Amino acid sequence: MTLRRLFTLLLVALQLSACGQGASEQKPLSRPKGGAPAYGDALITGSIGEPNTLIPLLASDTSSHEVAGLVYNGLVRYDKNLKLEGDLARSWEVSRDGLTITFHLRPGVKWHDGKDFTSNDVLYTYRVTVDPKTPTAYSEDFKQVKKAEALDRYTFRVTYEKPFAPALASWGIAILPAHLLEGKDITKSPLARSPIGTGPYIFKEWVPGQKLSLEANPAYWEGRPYLDRFVYRIIPDNSTMYMELKAGGIDTMGLSPVQYQRQTNTPEFLARFNKYRYPASAYTYLGYNLRLPLFKDRRVRQAISHAINKEEIIQGVLLGMGQIAHGPYKPGTWAYKPQVADPEYDPAKAQQLLKEAGFVMGSDGILVKDGKPFSFTIMTNQGNDQRMKCAQIIQRRLKRVGIDVKIRVMEWASFLTNFIDKGKFEAVLLGWTIGQDPDLYDVWHSSKTEPKELNFIGFKNAEVDRLLIEGRGTFDQEKRKRCYWGIQDILAQEQPYTFLYVPDALPAVASRFQGIEPAPAGIMHNLIKWYVPKAEQKN
């Protein structure tokens, strides 16, 4: 899901979405069960938030993408081992110079309304994505395209200006039905509330505030999904959701670390549910607004990083189920540089750096510089318990070295529009998903600091800019690796973020569901192969 590497999943830890890398650690503990694959039953999942729109191009929230992901397909997708494979594209060729990709589309695929899927749909999707009137966060990758053409009904070709490494992966974007959208205003389309896609599940109904139901697509090109229905229930309170899981009202949810470790190890729970655990493809960070004089001083940022005990955060927030983040990549991937020299926990060093930066201890235990106390607000989003805990631990640690921290929690959409986009924040505690392609141009390049763009902390570093452009302008993995390792060294020095942790995803699924294959990609990758043996079917 390349889409998700962008704006989408800042909210990731809210429901640890099931994309991850590294094998599942805990083998399901349930009794081994037999039963042949059978059609029927429904998977009910719970969500805190209601989707905003089911046109994925316009969506920037997890819920929307979770549902839309089952209704639409891209041209390519990641398989369970996180290798790119064909989705709506049966195959593709990349020209020798890497500038042209020719996709051969799968013939015979039909939209849910019965119309044929053709290259015209792909062309339309491209056009609407780069149309400046379309309010989307996903246009950047497609602006690199020099020419897009539908050669015939089932052949689609794109040509790039210069080599662009994330090109192929970017075509994982959901393809929209041209016959329903072309010539219309996409922001006013009824598809936002009743989508028509090519995916394994057909949209059935959306009861506002209650649930969305999808039904198996009998004509799906990969074969009809076993599970008849997919129901997405909206349950705005976390505690309620967990009780629903235990009472059988929902079949799956992402557990919190406390639930995973302390509440669900009873034989009764383990008989009814399988638990999975694998590192999520996401990290949490404390980011500083570098436009503010306070955070312009690198020593101040380093000092804060020195004052924060990441071990303690992982213990307190994740009960140990996660790893320290040192940079923007996931440990174990090729782009990740082990052992970068980032600030370790050392409060004495922090105090010394702050002294060098001109702060002196005030009478009330708060550092002062030029008559102003060292005080700032950490903002984070509502509904994310882990971030809230994390902020409180940081608040406590920073108080020890004489920094006064306030915490402010805000609703997601208003947080983005009122504070992030306007640069009206001091520090934020947020998360990024880690995409499969290591290109981070959108987050770190100095040209991406305008309002609504992702480098909202205003990080500007000429060397990082150069490495980012070099890294995405070549297909040679060794060369790219050198670039990204270089970037990690600079980030470790500069500390524009204090990288905090990579949490583990901890989903639980009712044990009547069979065919789940934990893999580097998590568990949801083969949803259409999940089944419930006839004898155990419930719904």
Which residues in 380-399 contact other proteins (CB under 8 A)?
382-383, 385, 388-389, 391-393, 395-396
Candidates 462, 461, 444; CA nearest to 453 is 444
In the chain, the amino acid numbered 335 is A
- Shortest separation between residue 183's beta carbon and other proteins, angstroms: 17
Annotate each residue in 60-79 with x if it binds other proteins (CB under 8 A) or - if it does not, as one string: xx------------------
Q: Return all residues near 250 (Cβ < 8 A) that are at least 6 apart.
A: 44, 45, 46, 233, 235, 241, 244
Nearest Cα to Cα of residue 314 among 276, 284, 347, 350:
284
In this structure, what are the phi and psi dihedrals at residue 36, rounded to the nearest 5 degrees? Answer: -80, 155
Q: Least distance from C-beta 52 to other proteins, angstroms?
A: 4
The single residue listed with the structure tokens 């020099």 is 146
Q: Is 61 strand, coil or helix?
A: coil
Distance of CA 526 to the CA centre of its chain: 19
Minimum CB separation from other proteins for residue 139, in Å? 9
CB of 304 to other proteins, least distance (A): 17
CB of 241 to other proteins, least distance (A): 8
**Choice from 178, 234, 321, 353 touching other proteins (CB under 8 A):** 234
Helix (H) or strand (E) holding 204: strand 201-207
Write down the least CB distance from residue 231 to other proteins, Å. 7
Burial 36-45 (b: 16+ CB within 10 A, else e): eeeebbbbbb
Selected from 315, 333, 375, 537, the binder of other proteins by CB under 8 A is: 315
Angle between helices 477-494 and 462-472 (to 10 degrees): 160
Q: Which is nearer to other proteins, 62 or 281 (CB)?
A: 62
Residue selected from 134, 155, 159, 493 as contacting other proteins according to rule CB under 8 A: 134
d(CA 350, CA 318): 25
* Integer Rg of the chain from CA: 24
Question: Which of 80, 127, 408, 481 is the binder for other proteins (CB under 8 A)?
Answer: 408
Under the binding rule (CB under 8 A), the answer on residue 265 touching other proteins is: no
Integer CA distances (angstroms), 88 to 51, 85, 92, 222, 356, in order: 25, 10, 11, 10, 58
Residues 6+ apart with CB under 8 A from 291: 423, 458
Binding range to other proteins, per CB under 8 A, among 18-26, 105-113, 187-195, 518-526: 187-195
Which residues, in sequence order, are CB contacts of 243 under 8 Å at separation 6+? Answer: none
Q: Which is nearer to other proteins, 392 or 474 (CB)?
A: 392
CB-nearer residue toward other proteins: 95 or 210: 210
Minimum separation from the CB atom of position 79 to other proteins (A): 31
Decide: is 500 part of the binding site for other proteins (CB under 8 A). Answer: no
Beta strands 229-234 and 404-410, pairing class: unpaired
- Give the nearer residue to other proteins in terms of CB position, either 99 or 319: 319
Asked if 448 and 454 touch (Cβ cutoff 8 Å), the reply is yes
Told to check if 268 binds other proteins by CB under 8 A, we report no
Indicate the residue among 19 and 70 with the shorter CB distance to other proteins.
70
| H or E, element range at 67 | helix 62-71
Subset of 203-232 contacting other proteins (CB under 8 A): 207-211, 231
Give min distance, CB of 526 to other proteins, in A. 23
> Pick from 23, 94, 151, 243: which binds other proteins (CB under 8 A)?
243
Map the footprint of other proteins across residues 318-377, applying CB under 8 A.
319
Closest approach of Cβ 228 to other proteins, in Å?
A: 12
- Binding to other proteins (CB under 8 A) within 436-465 occurs at 451-452
Interaction of residue 413 with other proteins, rule CB under 8 A: yes
